[in-house]
Structure formats: structure tokens, C-alpha cells
Amino acid sequence: MSFIRKPFGYEPVITKEDLKKNNKKKVEKVSDWKGVLSRLWKLVDEQRFLLIVVLLLVVVSSALSLLGPYLVGRIIDEYITVSVFEGLARLIGILIVVYIFLSISMYLQSYWMIGVAQQTIYRLRTILFNKLQKLPVSFFDKRQHGELMSRMTNDIENVSQTLNSSFIQVFSSLLTLVGTTVVMLMLSPLLTLVTLIIVPVMFFAMKWITKRTSKLFKEQQQAVGELNGMIEETISGQRIVKAFSQEQRMLEDFALKSERLKRTGFWALTYSGFIPKVMNLLNNTSFTLVAAAGGVLAYHGYVSIGEIVIFTEYARQFTRPLNDLANQFNTVLSAIAGAERVFAIIDEPEEQDTVMENKDLKLKGNVTFENVTFKYNTKDEKPTIEKVSFHVEAGKTAALVGATGAGKTTIMQLLARFYETNEGKIIIDGIAIDQMPRYTLRSQTAFVLQDPFLFEMSVKENIRYGKLNATDEEIIQAAKEANAHEFIAKLPNGYDTILSADGGEISQGQKQLLSIARALVADPAILLLDEATSSIDTVTELKIQEALERLMEGRTSFVIAHRLNTVRKADLIFVMENGKLIESGSQEDLINAQGRFYSMLMNSKI
């Protein structure tokens, strides 16, 4: 008994209580899948005519599949049993033509449906990717990247497979069921009743199975997303994993998530695996019942041998579409669950620029914060930054100093409009930033981050990312000003060397220099810099400092400062503590005041 309850040691994933909860939410689920199917239908818009042609071909093939057995029955009754062969060849010829056209129609509907499906999936994938480009940074901060990748790949692939094969199969099965029932009733209501005996058994068996598989396939999809997210994070953060010797912890975390996927996958496939077995049993039972009942009726002269042959074929044709519908049900459930997850992202609110004024504004860089308060989570009691006010004139450099969590990075995020303020205003050149399009602001703002991100493309294209229409000459000049030209020239293919996504071919300092070159070629009015020199050798650090001085010259610059040298060269220093701006001014003023900044200097915290 223990093996039956826990086969191969797999603990049950769902309980009786889960199934009861599932029943309570049944109406809500129906509403969901109808909405998903409706939205998928709208995506087929451009291919709708071809889809209608495919559906017509399905109707034709369903009619031909019914006509074939009927002709076979006529051949038996009108020719073979009475030993009359005149006209038999003509009827056999018609039967051959019927099956040839059946094959052609099935090939064409499959061929054209693949085209319709791929075009629809192309549109869905494009819509999803476009949506991802329009979502705010806060959306990505709250989700695992691997989970988003799973929706872009696994979930859409599930929908693709269903459209490619299941759509035609489901529609064809429904038509065959209706057509077969009608023809059987015309031939013999009594044998039809015998054939339909298995339907209630089939209904309750399928209900028992699908009540479990619907929940299990959803859990399986979630488990896949979580595992993908964990794997993506682990691979991306391999240096951190190894630096802190956390390989064993990662293995344990992977084992837990993998175990969950294994369990849900086992039970989902186990329950769904019952379907073909049950259907085959019922199919053979139906065939036996029809043959036995037909034999009795033929013996008493109620039906002919040809009609029995027709009915045995129709009995199989009747149970086969039921079998197909049952088998496809799980595939469709999985696809709907995947499509639902995709549409959930598509329905996320976008970054919207309701104000299109000032779109051609040329920024000078006069920046003012007026009583700015912000929370990452509106439910938090304490703001991340609270009532922050300051002014930085165009071309000046402001250094942000303070402990981790003081609010320095948040100020950068708000200045780039990655997030919106809860209270107060951020003003640039006398205009509130929420009164100018984000593109206008960000196209004139450049970022040099602690951990520069490089794309899997050439060095040249990585630098050009700052200004897509930059010429090769501008790129080389920017690299020279960033002190990057020398090491680029030594790469295997120079500026055409292809870098991997994490830039593993070059050092951390060289990545920083490429990031500075990217900012230089963009020629921004405002520069946001998160200083990172702690893990870089002295020679490279000097090159970076020299490049940064060129980059910041004549530009309004905000620097999260970690080095005293950077603070000394700043025109203004803002000291942040617990989300509040507690001191501001020049270095000389703050030292003379002997406040928090002075204390940090004395304790060598800068």
C-alpha cells in the first residue's frame, strides 16, 4: 500500500483539501481560460482568412473520414455478401479517391496551420518583448530574471506547440464526434445507444483525472519558473558564489527547487498518463460491445453485416476523438497556464509619458530636489529618503557620501526617473522632470555603474550603445579619452573583438573604461556615477580617475563617492544618513563645521 501511496518515494503534491479548494475556484478558472482564448483569437487577426480555410479543410476531412467507412459497409452489403461484382470496381475507385483527398486535406490543413501558429506566436513573442522594454525598472527589481526568461521561452513554446497540433485535433475531434453520432443514429439507434454506454464512464474518469492535472500543471509551470530563476542567478553570480564559498548552499537550494519540480512533474505526468490507458480500455470495451450486440441483431435480421462493419469503425471513430480530446486536454491546460502567465506580464502597467511637452528640450543640468520623499514599498512605514532638498548648478560635481542604505543610490534612481517620487519635486533647468518625456531626460543622462554591463557584441558596438548613430571615428575618440584605446588595440580583433555577455575576456578595470567610453560618446548633460575602484589595480585606477575627470568636465555630475580623492574634487558634498540629507556644502565648509562628514574623515570611512 505504501508503494501505491508514495510510488518510488514521491510524496503526494496535492491533498483532498487542495481538490476541494480547486472546486471552489472553478468558476473563476473558467472565466480565466475564456479570456485567454479570446486574446489568442485576436492575435490571429492577420491570419484569420487562412485559419478559416484550415477550418473548412478540417470540416472536409471530417466528412471524408465518415464517408470512408460508410462506403466500405455498402461494398460489403451490396456486392460481397450477395456475390455481385458489377460496379464494385467503380465504388472501390471512389473509396480510393475519398482516402486520397482525405490525406491531401489533412496535409494542407497541417501545413497551413503551422504557418498560422508560427505567425501568431511571432506576434505574441514580439508583443511580450516590446512590453518588457516599456516596463518600469521597479518591475524587474521585484522579479527573478530567470522567471521572466521562462515566460519568454517555455510558456510561449507551450502555446506554440498547442497551436501547431492541438488546435486542429480538438476541432476535428469535435466535428467527428457530432458527425459520427448523427450518422450512427440514422443507421441504428439501438447500436448507437450501445456505443454511447461508455460515455458516462469516460466523463467521470476524465473529471477525476483533470481535477488533479489542472492544478498539477500550474504548479509545474511555477516550479519551472522558480528553478530557471535560481539557475540564471547562480550562473550570473558565479564570482560571488565562489568568492564566499557558497557552492554547497547553491547545490542545496538547487536540490530543493529541483525536487519540487521533480515531484510536481512526476504526479502531473502520472495522472495525465492515466488518460490514454483509460481511453484504450474504453475503446476496446466499446468495440466489443458493438460487435457482440451487432452480432445478435444481425442474427435476428435487424441489421446487416455491412452496418455492423460501419458501426465498428464508427465506434472507433467515436472513441478516438474522445481519446484525442482527453490527451490534448492536458496540453491545452498547460498552454493556457503559460499564455495566462504571458498575458499577466503584457497587462502590467507601462512607464507612460502623459506629458509630451519639452520633448526637444536641450538640458543644461541645473538640478534641484525640493522636499523629495520616496518609498520603494508604499506599505513601508519609514521612507527610503525623506524631505531631501538641494540644488546643483550646471557643470558642477556633487558627491554623495554616507553608509550603505543611506539613500545615495535612490537619489540616482529618482533623478533618472526609474521611480517616481511620493512627495516633492525634482526640477532640471526650471522644469519638473515629470513634465518632460523620459526619453528627453535619459537620452541626455549617462550612467557609469559599479559593475558595468556589457552586451554580447563587439567592443565597438558596446561603446556605440551610448549613441547609436556614432561614427567609428567618434567611437575611437571616445575610447582614447577614456584611456581604453590602448588595451582595445591589443585585443585579437581590436574594436571588432566580440565580447561575451559578462565581458569575461577583459578585466574589471577595462570594463569600467569601456563604460566611461560609452558615456563619453553619448555626450550627456548629466552624469550619474557609482564610483568603483576598490577591486582595481593602482595603474588602472589612475587611468579610470583621469578618464572620469575628462568625462565630468563641464557636465553636472552626481557621484556616489567611496574615495577621498573623489570627494576632494567635488564642488558640493551631500552627506546622507538614514534617508535624510544631514549635511551639504563644500569640503572646506563641512570640515570647518566638524559635523558628520568631519567625523567620517577622521574615522577613515571615506
User: For residue range 472-514, what is the model confidence (pLDDT) as tens digits?
Assistant: 999 999 999 999 999 999 989 999 999 886 677 788 888 889 9
* pLDDT higher at 254 or 233: 254
What is the predicted pLDDT for the residue at 415?
A: 93
Cα 433 to Cα 428: distance, rounded to the nearest angstrom: 6
Average pLDDT, the chain: 83
Backbone angles phi, psi at 379, to 5 degrees: -80, -15
Three-state secondary-structure class, residue 81: coil
Q: Name, in order, each residue with C-beta under 8 angstroms of 27's C-beta and a sequence gap of 6 or more.
A: none
Best mean pLDDT range from 122-136, 329-343, 345-359: 122-136
Q: Around Cβ 455, how many Cβ atoms within 10 Å? A: 12
Cα 103 to Cα 550: distance, rounded to the nearest angstrom: 72
What is the predicted pLDDT for the residue at 10?
A: 56
Cα 436 to Cα 356: distance, rounded to the nearest angstrom: 7
Written as one letter, the residue type at 180 is T
User: DSSP string covering 292-355, please?
Assistant: HHHHHHHHTTSS-HHHHHHHHHHHHHHHHHHHHHHHHHHHHHHHHHHHHHHHHHHTSPPP----
Q: Around Cβ 487, how many Cβ atoms within 10 Å? A: 18
Checking if the pLDDT of 374 tops 90, the result is yes
Cα 527 to Cα 108: distance, rounded to the nearest angstrom: 59
DSSP assigned state of 425 = E
DSSP assigned state of 426 = E
Q: Around Cβ 23, how many Cβ atoms within 10 Å? A: 9
Grid cell for residue 170:
480538438
What is the predicted pLDDT for the residue at 181?
A: 83
Domains of the chain in sequence order: 33-346 (1.20.1560.10), 353-444+524-536+554-606 (3.40.50.300), 451-523 (3.40.50.300)
Best mean pLDDT range from 141-145, 308-312, 342-346, 560-564: 342-346
Three-state secondary-structure class, residue 327: helix
The fraction of the chain above a pLDDT of 90, given in percent, is 23
Number of H helices, E strands in the chain: 24, 10
- Residue pair 431/361 in contact by the 8 Å Cβ criterion: yes
User: Is residue 519 within a helix (H) or strand (E), and if so which, with residue range?
Assistant: helix 508-522
Cα 480 to Cα 472: distance, rounded to the nearest angstrom: 12
pLDDT band at 532 (very low <50, low <70, confident <90, very high): low
Cα 401 to Cα 381: distance, rounded to the nearest angstrom: 24
Lookup result for grid cell 476523438: 321
Q: Around Cβ 330, how many Cβ atoms within 10 Å? A: 22
Helix axis angle, 472-481 relative to 538-552, nearest 10°?
120
Lookup result for grid cell 473558467: 30
Lookup result for grid cell 554547497: 248
Compute the Cα dihedral for 258, 263, 266, 271 and give only its sign.
negative
What is the predicted pLDDT for the residue at 450?
A: 77
What is the predicted pLDDT for the residue at 115?
A: 87
| Closest to 181 measured CA to CA, from 191, 169, 167, 166 | 191
DSSP assigned state of 527 = E
What is the predicted pLDDT for the residue at 6?
A: 54
Grid cell for residue 380:
513601508
Cα 80 to Cα 91: distance, rounded to the nearest angstrom: 12
Radius of gyration of the chain (CA): 35
Q: Name, in order, each residue with C-beta under 8 angstroms of 179's C-beta and a sequence gap of 6 or more.
A: 62, 63, 66
What is the predicted pLDDT for the residue at 23?
A: 46
Query: Residues of 181-192 as b/e, b for ≥16 C-beta within 10 angstroms?
Result: eebbeebbeebb
What is the predicted pLDDT for the residue at 19?
A: 57
- Residue pair 522/363 in contact by the 8 Å Cβ criterion: no
Cα angle value 306/311/317 (rounded, 5°): 135
Out of 6-15, 34-43, 332-341, least confident range = 6-15
What is the predicted pLDDT for the residue at 11?
A: 58
Q: Around Cβ 535, how many Cβ atoms within 10 Å? A: 11
Checking if the pLDDT of 31 tops 70, the result is no
What is the predicted pLDDT for the residue at 327?
A: 67
Cα 415 to Cα 366: distance, rounded to the nearest angstrom: 12
CA-CA-CA-CA torsion for 178, 182, 187, 188, nearest 10 degrees? 80
Q: Around Cβ 346, how many Cβ atoms within 10 Å? A: 15
What is the predicted pLDDT for the residue at 526?
A: 93
Q: Name, in order, each residue with C-beta under 8 angstroms of 7's C-beta and a sequence gap of 6 or more.
A: 270
Grid cell for residue 593:
563645521
User: DSSP string covering 351-391, please?
Assistant: P-----TTTT------EEEEEEEE-SSTT-SS-SEEEEEEE
Checking if the pLDDT of 581 tops 90, the result is yes
Cα 284 to Cα 297: distance, rounded to the nearest angstrom: 20
Grid cell for residue 60:
472536409
Q: What's the length of the chain? A: 606
Burial level of 512, CB count in 10 A (0-12/13-18/19+)?
A: buried
Cα angle value 158/211/198 (rounded, 5°): 105
Out of 307-311, 355-359, 426-430, least confident range = 355-359
| Closest to 584 measured CA to CA, from 368, 293, 415 | 368
- Residue pair 478/494 in contact by the 8 Å Cβ criterion: no
Out of 150-154, 208-212, 400-404, least confident range = 208-212
- Both ends of the chain: CA-CA distance in Å? 68
| pTM confidence score | 0.68
Checking if the pLDDT of 334 tops 80, the result is no
| Closest to 286 measured CA to CA, from 198, 203, 202, 184 | 198
